Amino acid sequence: MPTSTFNNLNKAKQKRIFQAALDEFARADYEHAKLSHIIKQANIPRGSFYQYFEDKYDLYSYLINQIGQDKLSYMSDTLKNPNNVTFLQWFKEIYKVGIRFALDNPKYVQISAHLLTKKGEIYNKVMKGNIDIALDMYQSMIKKDQELGIIKKEINARLLAKLVLDMTLNVSTESLSSTDGTFNLEEMNKQIDQIISIFEKGITKGE
C-alpha cells in the first residue's frame, strides 16, 4: 500500500501516477509491465517512486485495491438489501452489473484479463482475500435460502458457493482469453443466464 508521502501528494499528482500504472498494467501482465514506463509516463523521478511505494508489487496491489473500491462503489445499489431476493437472483444481477462496469472501464478489463488468464503467485496474492469474502457472503445467503425452503437443505452451502464462483470465473477467463483478443460481454451474459438456470433447476425444490 502507498506510503504517507504518497497520500500527502495533491490529488492531481496521485491521479497521474495511478493513470500511468493503469495504462502500463493494462498493456502488459504483471511480469512484463515495466516500472520504468510508469515512472516516465507519471513524470516523476525514480527516487520519488520509492518514496511512494515499496516496489512494483506494492504499486500493483494499490491499483487492484483501487479498482476493487471503484467496482464496489459502482455496484453499491445492487449490493444493498439482498434479503428481498433469492441468492441466485441476486447473484445474476450482481454479475450483470459487473459486466456493465467492465464496459465502462475497458482498461480494468484488460488488467483482469492478464490476472485471470495467467494464474500464479500474483493472482493468489491479490485475489485470495477477495475470493474468501465473496464465498462467505454467498454461503450466508445460500443458508438463508435453505432456511426458507428455496434451496435443498442437504446441499453443502460452502460447496455450492464455490461452484457458483468457480463456474462464473471460468466463464470470465474463457472470454478474456479468446484467441482473437475480443471480450464478448453479450455472450458472457448468455452463459451466466444458462449457468444460473442449471443451478435453479438442479438445487431448488420442485412442487
84 shares its domain with 57:
no
Q: From CA 163, how far away is CA 142, in angstroms rounded?
A: 12
Cell numbers representing residue 81 in the block: 438489501
Cα–Cα distance measured from residue 101 to residue 50, given in angstroms and rounded to the nearest whole number: 32
Within this chain, do residues 94 and 171 fall inside the same structural domain, yes or no?
A: yes
95 and 146 belong to one structural domain: yes
* Sequence letter at residue 148: L
Domains in the chain: how many in total? Answer: 2
Residue 206, pLDDT above cutoff 60: no
Q: Determine the pLDDT at residue 97.
A: 86
Average pLDDT, the chain: 86
pLDDT at residue 168, as a whole number:
77
This prediction has a pTM of: 0.81
Residue 204 confidence (pLDDT)? 61
Contact 121, 30 (CB under 8 A): no
Backbone angles phi, psi at 120, to 5 degrees: -175, -150
Domain match, 114 and 49 both: no
User: 138: domain range?
Assistant: 75-203
Residue pLDDT, tens place only, 24-77: 999 999 999 999 999 999 999 999 999 999 999 999 999 999 998 998 899 888
At 172-195, the pLDDT tens digits run 666 655 544 455 667 777 878 888
CATH of the domain at 43: 1.10.10.60
Q: How many CB atoms lie within 10 A of CB 55?
A: 11
85 and 175 together in one domain: yes
**Tell me, what's the pLDDT at 179?**
42
